Chains A and B, each alone.
Chain A
Amino acid sequence: QITLKESGPTLVKPTQTLTLTCTFSGFSLKSTGVGVGWIRQPPGKALEWLAVVYWDDDAHYRPSMRSRVAITKDTSRNHVVLTVSNMDPVDTGTYYCAHFTVGGLAYWGQGAVVSVSS
């Protein structure tokens, strides 16, 4: 059974760096073709893909966020970490991590709600 769960702060101040952890089970991030992605959703708005890290350490980012976002994996702890620097109120929303293959994002975490406010 594949599960993912996001954890991190619910409130950050403007200009601070957000660090979110995705803890997963039921699959290995060493398996060929497997990745873990981060997707966010501002309140009342559409899904936005942010980043993905693959089994081979390759990582890709949303072009508009490339300068602010980093994604890393720790396969020994089954963790994937997302950092977003220089947070702004427009970054408020629900942040999801999800299991990724060429077949799509088949398994999602429950989401972590993050608010940006002073």
Chain B
Amino acid sequence: SYVLTQPPSVSVAPGQTARVTCGGDNIGGKSVHWYQQKSGQAPVLVINFDADRPSGIPARFSGSNSGNTATLTISRVEAGDEADYYCQVYDSSGDHLVFGGGTKLTVL
């Protein structure tokens, strides 16, 4: 089955740029969605179709996807961005949804 690999943690100072990666075999050929999950809350979709922002998501959030790596980029990081971030794809070979293992973003 398809596997998505994320780094367990990323740390960044306020105002800097955070990049969270999601690795998968030829992931560039799939649509990647990203979710933010703050402590004790349900996940929120922050990026879909690799780089689109749903309504209400700040422009500081952006995404890219090429080759074997998709990346979520958060510019001008704020304390309120501290959360777990998950990537997700649809594996058409098995009609499955697949999540990455999640990355904890810490704002220093």
Contact = CB atoms under 8 A, between A and B. Distances in A.
Nearest to B46: A104
Contact of A106 (B48, B86, B98): B48
Contacts of B97: 37, 39, 49, 52, 100
Contacts of B48: 103-104, 106
A43 to B, nearest CB: 12
Contacts of A52: 97
Contacts of B99: 39, 46-49
Interface string A17-50: 0000000000000000000010100000011110
B43 A108 contact: yes
Interface residues of A, number: 21
Interface of A: 37, 39, 46-49, 52, 60, 62-63, 96, 100, 102-106, 108-111
30 contacts: A39-B97, A39-B99, A46-B86, A46-B101, A46-B102, A47-B35, A47-B37, A47-B43, A47-B86, A47-B99, A48-B99, A49-B88, A49-B97, A49-B98, A52-B97, A60-B96, A63-B1, A63-B96, A96-B42, A100-B97, A102-B90, A103-B48, A104-B33, A104-B35, A105-B33, A105-B35, A105-B43, A106-B48, A108-B44, A111-B42
